[in-house]
Amino acid sequence: MSYNGGPMTEAMYYVLLALMRPNHGYQVMQSITEVSKGRLKMGPGTLYGVLSRMQKDGLIALSKDDGRRKIYEITEEGERALRLEYARLQSLIFDSTILEEGNDG
């Protein structure tokens, strides 16, 4: 089953962000922790499950496998999906300005 463009899981979103630069699994986990400022720490079980699914969906690809480590990279389809999700999240934030306006209106 391929990615249908619906809302992404948080794990998918951060993995795609981390793979804007080709990376291996451990680097991806480190990058996610760093970008999320420690809010999200992804374990190997979750990461490799997400990587496998996203590879099947064509969102990422294996760019190098030297037998010791696999380097993954985002595909054009993955970057398109990431940008669509980014726009969706921005819309959610924009639509939520009512929370900042309070109950005065």
Mean per-residue pLDDT for 71-83?
A: 97
Q: Tell me what pLDDT residue 89 has.
A: 95
Whole-number average pLDDT of the chain: 92
Mean per-residue pLDDT for 4-16?
A: 91
Q: Tell me what pLDDT residue 2 has.
A: 63
1 band by pLDDT with thresholds 50, 70 and 90: very low
| Integer CA distances (angstroms), 33 to 4, 16, 20, 40, 91, in order | 27, 14, 15, 6, 25
User: Whole-angstrom Cα distance, residue 99 to residue 102?
Assistant: 5
104 band by pLDDT with thresholds 50, 70 and 90: low
Written as six digits, the tokens of 76 are 């054009």
SS3 content of the chain, % helix, strand, coil (to 5): 55, 10, 30
Q: Tell me what pLDDT residue 25 has.
A: 94
